[in-house]
Chains A and B, each alone.
Chain A
Amino acid sequence: MDSQNEETGTMVRVSINGREYSVPQGSTMVQAMWYTGHEVIHGVGCLGGVCGACATVYRIEGDFRLRNALACQTLVSEGMSFSMLDSYPIQRAHYDVAGLTDPKEELFTYYPESATCRNCNACTEVCPQGIDVRDSVWRANFGDFKAVADLTFSCVMCGLCVSRCIAEMAPHEIALYARRAYGAKELPFPPNLRHRLDQIHSGTFEGDLKRLESLTPDELKKECEVRS
């Protein structure tokens, strides 16, 4: 909380869940809720902009547009009204990524609605991470899962795209499916990992590790002191 602003009296007028308050300028939406005595449990997670718990809908006085944001990352401003969306209901596919045989086709088994995108672009406009969500849906439909992975890597799964989709799909879940299928089924297994696993399975390091474990604490300290 920015106590400096409270002391110098730089306050802004906001409306939280329909009730008016005055809060210090420079507060995030979540900090404004704490300042006004709200106990926030649903809607708070990491407080660092990556967990997606704090999806919020807001409006600025005098502007008809509805906007969305992550409440832990967004500063309040004069005349702002906001409410948290806590959890947006979605339907999630039940699948095991290891069991996919033709992931590009199976996308339409698990998420048939992904083919019904009407290109309105509302998902892209709402995304707090600036992802081109609409494009990612089409890339998924066309089977270009690598492009989906590149486009959506910063997705925090907040679900705001779902709240605006007129085809009522869950683009963030579709992107998760495509990324996973790409990683598990398309990308070749990393050769350096394969090599190390082979060495481990043939017991290459066992003797050395056993020896280290058997040393006294002082011997071990001496042994590890020097960077090899």
Chain B
Amino acid sequence: MRLLSSYYPDYRPDGKATLKVGTNKGAVVPREIADILESRSRLPAPRTLPDHPDHDVDILILGGGGAGITAALFAAKEGRSVLLATKLRVGDSNTVMAEGGIQTALGEEDSPVIHFRDTFRGGHGANDPSLLSVLVSEGPEMVEWLVSRGILFDRDPQGGLSLRKGGGTSRPRLISAKDYTGLELIRVLKEDVVNAPVEILEFSPAIELISGPEGSCAGAVLYDLDSRRHIYVKAKSVILATGGAGRLHLSGFATSNHFGATADGLTMAYRMGIPLVHPESFQFHPTGVMFPSEMAGMLITEAVRGAGARMYNRLGKRFVNELETRDVVASAIIRECAEGRGVKTPQGTSGVYLDLVAIDRDSGEGTVEKRFPNILKLMKRHHVDPTKRPILVYPTLHYQNGGIRIDAQTRTSVSHLLVAGEASGGLHGTNRLMGNSLLELFVFGRRAGVEAANLAMNRPAFSWREASLAHVDRFEEELSSAFSTEERPMAPVLFPDYRRQGT
């Protein structure tokens, strides 16, 4: 499609780099992604481990968002010892920010098979069919689990789960909790994981995986943000649930992601030689707030377009079918602005109008307030009333479509290392449909937790003396020969630095 190839950031040649080192050598990826993949370790050489690990557990989970919490709950249920380490607090993640909903085929006219087809078409046919089949068939069971934990999804008059339509789908299939879906999920599951037999280490992001016998994974090195000390964890299985990359601000795009979304998992897995799938593919959500500038990047859920919101350029003309897939709608907005039909902000940037007034006009006064209370609350704090006037929007970096290659059991090419959630790749192809990522967290979070427990139980005992950081040394040698004089950045970067230069 010409619109996509000309305007969608994934397909444009600018801002890209060709990887020179590692399993995806030769791949063309955004420069910011190349920077964190072809990067130096935060641990200086010589990289030795202490005589004893600080923690010795069955299962170590890195990341405390939806996937990490779900994995922890199901792993603990198997009776294994579980340590969950996360960068900020448990629940600080992209999950908590999800507004729209979970895609799951519950409609009379719908089925997991149609869900499969819609997702495969939306993902441009690049999806891994075995992962997709698991997603659509186990989805309803995971929703049953969520309902049983007391999560309050919107209901229809018959008491069924209300189904709404998302972009690129042929059936209404989104279940939601107003526009607080992620918040409702995290509030409840966080309470469960805090009450479960799971040890939790907050403000302790992982900075390196540890290798064990025969190229396996044997734990991780964490960095305590408060004491600034390293914490060494020996584990029989490790689950990476480190999430996405939005705070790397690819090509300078604003982002809808949480503060810690810096793709640390990609960095660590790549150093271990694990292949990435579609590392060049990102989702730019069409409707990020442009103005007022202090809200830049904040998401206006796609569900508003499902509910009838329209988009207009500076000339007051509609320029795209608002219910197309996200990449198509985002490309159309970028095109309007690039060709001078965007609306200028006082900062000199431009965007297009997203008109929610149409929703109230079509479906009755008060519809926006009832269905999207969060958007209304957030915008009104900044003196913008979307029920009266259109919002100015531009695409915002929202989701990492690709990620670390996994199989249907969430296993990677390194034994005893599993991946779940946004850090993994393959499921969504090169464009994710709305609501499939929340479903993914639960379906594959559970699979990762259960599989990690199985692997841990059956793993022969090994000694801490067999554990090492040799894979990091090897990677740095490769890096030095590929970039002889050029200084490489250090990663994981952990956080963006928004402090004023020179302060």
Residue A121 CB within 8 A of the other chain: no
Residue A166 CB within 8 A of the other chain: no
Q: Is there an interface contact between A205 and B113, defined as CB atoms closer than 8 Å? A: yes
Shortest distance in angstroms between B86's beta carbon and chain A's nearest beta carbon? 11
Q: Is there an interface contact between A41 and B203, defined as CB atoms closer than 8 Å? A: yes
Closest to A183 in B: B150
Task: Report chain B residues within 8 Å CB of A193.
Answer: 106, 140, 143-144, 147, 160-161
Residue B392 CB within 8 A of the other chain: no
Task: Report chain A residues within 8 Å CB of B144.
Answer: 193, 197
Shortest distance in angstroms between A192's beta carbon and chain B's nearest beta carbon? 4
Closest to B129 in A: A213
Q: Is there an interface contact between A2 and B293, defined as CB atoms closer than 8 Å? A: yes
**Interface membership of chain A positions 213-228, coded 1 if the CB is closer than 8 angstroms to chain B and 0 otherwise:** 1010100110111011
**Interface membership of chain B positions 101-137, coded 1 if the CB is closer than 8 angstroms to chain A and 0 otherwise:** 0000111100111101110110001000110010011
Q: Is there an interface contact between A39 and B499, defined as CB atoms closer than 8 Å? A: yes
**Interface hits, B134-174 → A, CB 8 Å:** 136-137, 140-141, 143-144, 147-153, 155-156, 158-161, 163, 170
Task: Report chain A residues within 8 Å CB of B484.
Answer: none
Q: Is there an interface contact between B503 and A36, defined as CB atoms closer than 8 Å? A: yes
- Known: A26-B294, A225-B121. Contact between A2 and B499, CB under 8 A? no
Shortest distance in angstroms between A40's beta carbon and chain B's nearest beta carbon? 9
Count of CB-CB pairs between chains A and B under 8 Å = 211
Q: Is there an interface contact between A97 and B498, defined as CB atoms closer than 8 Å? A: no
Shortest distance in angstroms between B375's beta carbon and chain A's nearest beta carbon? 10
**Interface membership of chain A positions 152-168, coded 1 if the CB is closer than 8 angstroms to chain B and 0 otherwise:** 01111100000000000
Residue B25 CB within 8 A of the other chain: no
**Interface hits, B449-503 → A, CB 8 Å:** 495, 498-500, 503
- Known: A34-B500, A50-B183. Contact between A182 and B152, CB under 8 A? yes
Docked Cα-Cα span, A37 to B298, in Å, equals 23
Closest to B151 in A: A183
Docked Cα-Cα span, A48 to B374, in Å, equals 10
Closest to A51 in B: B96
Residue A44 CB within 8 A of the other chain: yes
Please list the 5 inter-chain residue pairs (A to B) with the smallest Cβ-Cβ separation, ordered nearest first.
Answer: A180-B150, A192-B160, A184-B150, A37-B503, A183-B150
Q: Which positions in A face B, CB cutoff 8 Å? A: 1-4, 26-28, 31, 34-39, 41-42, 44-51, 53, 73-75, 92, 94-98, 129-130, 149, 153-157, 176, 179-185, 187-193, 196-197, 200, 204-206, 208-209, 212-213, 215, 217, 220-221, 223-225, 227-228
17 residue pairs of the A-B complex, CB under 8 angstroms, read A34-B500, A44-B88, A44-B259, A46-B96, A48-B97, A49-B374, A49-B378, A180-B151, A182-B150, A183-B152, A191-B159, A200-B140, A215-B129, A217-B125, A221-B125, A225-B121, A227-B170
